[in-house]
Structure 1
Amino acid sequence: MAKRVLVVEDNELNLKLFCDLLRAHEFVVEPVRDGREAVQRAREFAPDLVVMDIQMPHVTGYDLLLQLKADPGLRHIPVMAVTAYAGRDDEERLRAAGAEAYVSKPITLARFMAAITALI
């Protein structure tokens, strides 16, 4: 059975890239453009992995990560944080909040897929 990935990304080009790449590797993908919808969509979609941008309007990826990890029905789902603001402190803070992986933008396709494969 194909693995399911929820992709939370406000940038349309990045969202398309991530989704197309995952679909090409036979994942079932659910795109989410607004982080405010992500927790509810995760409950409905039941993903095996969440790939999430950190810098988003309305709700940050960091806050969303805390919400996912606080939810008893979702906390078991691994989260891969993707961000253009890749500082050492950022990675440590995201991992402390529960992110299982951290990939900086711009992504390389091989590194992105290697991180996905390592998580599911």
Structure 2
Amino acid sequence: MMGVSPITVRSWVNRGWLPATTTPGGHRRFIRQDVLALAGQQRSHRPAGGRPLRLLVVDDDPQFRGYMLELLGELLPDAEIEAAADGFEAGVKVVEFLPDIVLLDQSMPGLDGASVCRRIRGVPQLAAIRVIGITGHLDRRVERDMLAAGAECVLHKPLDVAALRQALGAKNVAARAGQVLTAG
């Protein structure tokens, strides 16, 4: 109804912004009027730019993808966060969801992260999307491929949360181009 991920809704409930009841099975239920009231507040509290920060997590590992959704929901509770399981789904979601930042795994079946990044960079209307590469490989060639494709930096798995915060908070993307962030 509001076009946000379940993580975002959970964050709203935890912050007390959206009243909810819980069923015996642990599912949350909402009153339609409460949701509509929150939707009106969200529109009125958005920055002059229009909408909240949008992030897209792209990773073929469902456990890592779930971890990232939870982590980003905690780090950026006001953000809208979506996920894609592979490069093809990422292409569809980038066009439909129009994220501000894509957190993109390099090693995926079908289209790898560098291929997805090149396709994003190849569309002028998507040029402002920030791409942060993620890899579980310690191979410098993988990093170079992601950076050459247009990623602003590459983070390593297991993910260093401080490095993720630093990458997400980067103000000057041009100054960071070519930087590789590794777990300490």
TM (normalized to structure 1)? 0.91
SS where residue 126 of structure 2 aligns?
coil
Shift of 1:65: 1.0
Give the one of 18, 39, 57 matched to 1:7: 57
Q: Distance in 1 between matches of 2:141 and 2:93?
A: 29
Displacement, 1:38?
1.0
Which of the pair has more CA radius of gyration?
2
Structure 1 unaligned spans of 5+: none
In structure 2, give the amino acid aligned to 1:4: R
Task: Give the residue type in structure 1 aligned to 2:97.
Answer: F
Counterpart of 1:42 in structure 2 is 94
Alpha-carbon distance change, 93 to 34 in structure 1, aligned in 2, over 3 angstroms: closer
Listed as ranges, the gaps of 5+ residues in structure 2 are 1-45, 47-51, 174-184
Q: Distance in 2 between matches of 1:93 and 1:60?
A: 10
Which residue does the alignment assign to 1:100? 152
Runs of 4+ more than 6 Å apart: none
Query: Shift of residue 62 of structure 1?
Result: 1.1
Q: CA RMSD in A?
A: 1.6
Partner of 1:23: 73
What residue number does 1:63 align with? 115
Matched residue count: 120
Structure 1 residue 83 corresponds to structure 2 residue 135: yes
Q: Which of residues 161, 174, 182 in structure 2 aligns to 1:109?
A: 161
**Partner SS for 1:62:** helix
Task: Note the C-alpha offset of 1:37.
Answer: 1.5
Give the Cα separation in 1 of the matches to 2:70 and 2:110: 25
State the identity %.
32
Kindly state the Cα deviation for residue 40 of structure 1 after the two structures are TM-superposed: 1.8
Are 1:52 and 2:104 an aligned pair? yes
State the AA in 1 paired with 2:87: G
CA contact (8 A) 1:43 1:73 kept: no
Name the aligned partner's letter for residue 73 of structure 1: Q
TM-score normalised by length of structure 2: 0.61
Greater relative contact order (Cα 8 A, min sep 6): structure 1 or 2?
1
